Amino acid sequence: MSDFLHGGWSVYIAVATVLGLAGCLFLLVVASRTTQMAADNTTGHVFDGDLVEMNNPLPRWWMVLFVLTVIFAVVYGVLFPTFGNMPGVLGWSSQAALERDQARALESMQPVYARFAGMAPDALAADPEARAISERLYVNQCAMCHGSDARGSKGFPNLSDGDWLHGGSHEKIVETITQGRQGVMPPMGAAVGTDEDIRNVAHYVMSLSNTPHDAARATAGKEKFVVCGACHGADGKGNPAVGAPNLTDDIWLHGAGEAAITAMIRNGKTNVMPAQAGRLTPTQIDLLAAYVGSLSKTPAR
């Protein structure tokens, strides 16, 4: 229920559950009643010449089993979370069960991770056992966004190219994994000016990395670029302190070219890297950071 944004959903689930159980009993009562349809207690339906459909009541054993099923559902709903946000008298929850399982799993793995605690990043990256564990951690925690080969995709940074929005030191990578990141590029269309001004700035940005561009527009857009320089720097080389990308290296997180850059200027962008502090232990984060840091130093495969 925590996934729903409004408490009314809890009431809806509770009411739907109660009405469902009541409806089952109502159907049972209706089905248990018999109405005389003919003098010989038949429905009047005959099949294959002599197969007569009778109007007999439901078997008693079937009715008892049906009632017991409904009673079991009610008892279960009282003991366990069933009726919306009501926790159940036993206090069980799937979240608590998950946390207990995770705690037991981490405890059982402590002897494995103990050897790597306090090791230097280079030593972790070079250790075959540490690297094998790190690769599994990467696949489980990072590959869904950054790709199994760590080369990312549009909107998801490439971790193998040596270009780091917040810095590529081991400490910065640990900080990013632990705390997560939220990158915000505000809509700058109004600050830049007209549509022509936006196009000119886009061409100036492309000129910084020697991307094919219109030189005349780039010259006209240089003056307007000052509003971008607050984050990206007057020279466009970015600012790791705020995660502002380097615009001179021809590496584009959200796409290159006039259309992509003008859309970014007009609309802005928000990117979120979720924090892993609650999912991974400090030693696991250290292993993962050492592995990710080593990817940019590994020759392309």
The residue ranges of every structural domain in the chain are: 8-79, 102-180+274-295, 184-273
Q: How far apart are CA 43 and CA 137, in angstroms?
A: 67
> Interior CA angle at 180 toward 174 and 186, to 5°?
130
What CATH fold (topology level) applies to the domain 184-273?
Cytochrome Bc1 Complex; Chain D, domain 2 (1.10.760)
pLDDT confidence of residue 50: 85
Determine the CATH number of domain 102-180+274-295.
Answer: 1.10.760.10
pLDDT confidence of residue 297: 72
pLDDT confidence of residue 3: 54
SS3 category, 167: coil
102-180+274-295 shares its CATH topology with 184-273: yes
Look at the pTM and tell me if it is higher than 0.75: no
pLDDT confidence of residue 34: 67
pLDDT confidence of residue 300: 45
Both tokens of 197, joined, read 């001004």
Pairing of strands 42-47, 51-54: antiparallel
Q: What is the DSSP string of 118-157?
A: T--HHHHHH-HHHHHHHHHHHHHHTHHHH-TTS--BTTB-
Q: How far apart are CA 159 and CA 150, in angstroms?
A: 5
Q: How far apart are CA 268 and CA 203, in angstroms?
A: 17
What residue ranges of the chain have pLDDT lower than 50? 1, 300-301
